[in-house]
A and B are shown apart, each in its own frame.
Chain A
Amino acid sequence: MDDTPRAADEKTGLPRRTFLKQSMGLLGGGALMSMLPAGLSSAVWAAGTDGLETTKAKLGFIALTDAAPLFVAEELGLFAKHGMTDVEVLKQSSWGTTRDNLVLGAGSGGIDGAHILTPMPYLMAAGRVTTNNTPLPMCILARLNLNGQGISISKEYADLKLGTDASTFKQAVAAKQAKGQKIAAAMTFPGGTHDLWLRYWMAAGGIEPNKDLPTVVIPPPQMVANMKVGSMDAFCVGEPWNAQLINQNIGYSAVTTGELWANHPEKALSLRADYVSANPNATRALLKAVMEAQMFCEAAANKEQVAEICAKRRWIGAPAKDLLARLQGNFDYGNGRVVENSPHLMRFWSEFASYPFQSHDLWFLTENKRWGYLPKDFDSQALIAKVNREDIWRQAAAELGVPAEQIPQSKSRGVETFFDGKTFDPQNPQAYLDSLALKA
């Protein structure tokens, strides 16, 4: 069944009756029952998706290209199509605010779920980044994208022509510091994806984060502004910031993060656990809408339209041309290096981009342990079992009729290999940790 949404100029939703007929065809009753994990109430199947517990949801996002599935879902009426007619997609001012609004919840002027850095729901559920260390149970329903972040370098290091190898950078910043000037590298949230990419890249080049080069949390526009005046040497952030930096002639891209770890997981679609358990049907409806949006964003034919949507003030508001090239996989690194049709472009659906592999969540938690954001004895598996809801993803995929070859067989993507040769075996995370020279 071809359920790929058509591009539309205005938000349209299929009338509910047509939709019901469709979904009845999809469900086929008993065969699907066996795919349900134990614990889901049978009331769920009363009348297919007609039993939506609520049509409301508030989802937050940060103005980055990888939130595009949420924009597209809203713009193309996909939420409404799946019965969620009162979804609000709300721009958040920072990752910290996203966190605070998730803690508040929609009932108290906050949000139910968000486009979020994959480690964040874990840190929140473990009570590591919340007020009073109160844990907030969260669920990850899907990965929103693979790749698509960048490490950018100030143009004062243009001659170093940095790429994945950061070792020459070490001397350069040491020299600058010896001259009495401040050095800093910026990322978006401690323990979040950008922080981890930046640290991995630095550590692989022998730079000890914080000791050799301080890493600081800074909002993206300030990263650019600081780099302009020379007080920021490197930063790691999502698109379109890296492209904007080049367009404003302030710096260049050292890497697009796919070069560090091919097809790495990045952002997630996460909801408060209480919303998920109270509204299982609505949760799946939201997820289905996002998944369809991810399929839309993946299709090459739609990239221009995606860029146009992202360019709207309501979503990202940056010029579409800053967004489009890298969306299409054409990377101008800003230092003369240009790669067309890069394999490291941002993926929304291909290569199982949407499926939340538990092995990936394990890597993020392990890496957080590496840098001391989580204690060494932290029980990652137990938390993954609670937070990662790949079971809901599979249900949604089935309901959408996703072809079997686009649904991973296993919850793990197996051994991962990084650009510097290090490997991560999800069966043995400790070995990975032991193999790393620089850690907290």
Chain B
Amino acid sequence: MNAPVKSLALPAGVVAPSWLKRLSKNLMQSVLPPLVITAALMLIWQLLCSGANAALPPPSQVIEDTWELIVNPFYDNGGTDVGMAWQLLASLERVAYGYALAVVVGVALGVLVGQSTWAMRGLDPLFQILRTVPPLAWLPLSLAGFKDSHPSALFVIFITAIWPIIINTSVGIRNIPEDYRNVAKVLRLNGVEYFQKIMLPAAAPYIFSGLRIGVGLSWLAIIAAEMLIGGVGIGFFIWDAWNASRISDIILALIYVGVVGFLLDRLVLFVGNRITRGTSA
């Protein structure tokens, strides 16, 4: 089906398995170019910041300062002084709870708003206003409301991630082509069957694009919230490093934050593609 991959030169008689061919092709096309560009940018950064009065430390300095953090991601010196892996995992755990809740409630509300014109008229203006509130602004309110810092942090994630999920879900529900609805009518599918077999799968691509946006926002929100709340977590790590003027630590943390955010996005994309079987919105 595909053109033969030319990237492998093997000894005569040896046939590379197709998965290996695909892997090497992927590496050449997707991994190599960004690596090259990143290396080039690091070089430029190194050159620009090598002087004595540089505003930022150059990569060599960053690596030197943070070497302990890089090679030992699982150390535990008590309190908030734990390895980067623990910091990231702590933040991810909060994201997991808050995001999961946002998914459940968001999809449910999105279906409601998508299905019911009345609900849409009533709730949509409210959603549009609330979604513009920055995540951190919710924190004092939620602290006052919950009187406990743990659910407050989760609430901040929840309230940040839920809007794109609701809005995208409702659009997906409202945009189910009439033909599918007619098929459902001819087949006399009942409400549950319609929901399961037609509505959700048809809206799935929209739902998943909402979920993707939501997961990115969750990650942003928790970093910001942790800066205020404290405790183990990458957000507080960054805040603490800022407090102590440890710029290299901040740079390292930012790289990790970016990579994890990217991975989260890809994860949702991957799951979405599997579930919607490639039917895109």
Contact, chains A and B (beta carbon distance below 8 A): yes
Contact B229 A63 (CB under 8 A): no
- A312's partner among B81, B150, B246 (CB-CB below 8 A) is B81
- Cβ proximity bits A215-259 to B, threshold 8 Å, 1 near / 0 not: 000011100100000000000000000001000100000000000
Minimal Cβ-Cβ distance residue in A for B53: A249
9-residue interface stretch from B21-29, B140-148, B164-172, B212-220 = B140-148
Contact A97 B229 (CB under 8 A): yes
A317: which B residues are within 8 A, CB to CB? Answer: 240-241, 243-244, 246
- B196 shortest CB reach to chain A, Å: 39
- Cβ proximity bits B119-159 to A, threshold 8 Å, 1 near / 0 not: 00000000000000000000000011001111010000000
Contact A110 B230 (CB under 8 A): no
A316 to B240, CA, bound (A): 9
Contact A313 B149 (CB under 8 A): no
- A91's partner among B79, B144, B147, B148 (CB-CB below 8 A) is B79
Contact B245 A93 (CB under 8 A): no
- A89's partner among B79, B143, B149 (CB-CB below 8 A) is B79
- A88's partner among B79, B240, B244 (CB-CB below 8 A) is B79
Minimal Cβ-Cβ distance residue in A for B81: A314
A316: which B residues are within 8 A, CB to CB? Answer: 244
Any chain A CB within 8 A of the CB of B99?
no
Any chain A CB within 8 A of the CB of B18?
no
Any chain B CB within 8 A of the CB of A108?
yes
- Cβ proximity bits B226-265 to A, threshold 8 Å, 1 near / 0 not: 0111110000100111111110000000000000000000
Number of A-B residue pairs, CB cutoff 8 Å, is: 74
Contact B243 A90 (CB under 8 A): no
Contact A93 B81 (CB under 8 A): no
Minimal Cβ-Cβ distance residue in A for B244: A317
Interface footprint category on A: 20 to 34
Contact B228 A94 (CB under 8 A): yes
Minimal Cβ-Cβ distance residue in A for B150: A109
Within 8 A of B (CB), among A266-325: 312-314, 316-318
Contact B230 A92 (CB under 8 A): yes
B236: which A residues are within 8 A, CB to CB? Answer: 91, 93
Contact B245 A221 (CB under 8 A): yes
A92 to B147, CA, bound (A): 17
A244: which B residues are within 8 A, CB to CB? Answer: 245
Known: A101-B149, A108-B147. A314 touches B78 (CB 8 A): yes
Minimal Cβ-Cβ distance residue in B for A317: B244
Contact B243 A219 (CB under 8 A): yes
Within 8 A of B (CB), among A71-126: 74, 88-94, 97, 100-101, 104, 108-110
A129 to B81, CA, bound (A): 31
A63 to B81, CA, bound (A): 13
Any chain A CB within 8 A of the CB of B7?
no
Contact A93 B244 (CB under 8 A): no
Any chain A CB within 8 A of the CB of B190?
no
Contact A220 B150 (CB under 8 A): no
Contact A109 B79 (CB under 8 A): no
Contact B244 A104 (CB under 8 A): no
A-B contact pairs, 14 of them (CB 8 A): A63-B240, A63-B244, A88-B79, A90-B80, A92-B230, A93-B227, A93-B228, A93-B229, A97-B230, A101-B149, A219-B243, A316-B244, A317-B243, A317-B244
Give the interface of B toward A (CB within 8 A): 77-81, 143-144, 147-150, 152, 227-231, 236, 239-246
> 8 closest Cβ contacts across the A-B interface?
A314-B81, A108-B148, A109-B149, A317-B244, A314-B79, A109-B150, A93-B230, A313-B81
Beyond the given A220-B243, A312-B81, please list 6 additional residue pairs across the A-B interface where CB-CB is below 8 A. Answer: A63-B240, A91-B240, A131-B144, A312-B77, A317-B241, A318-B244
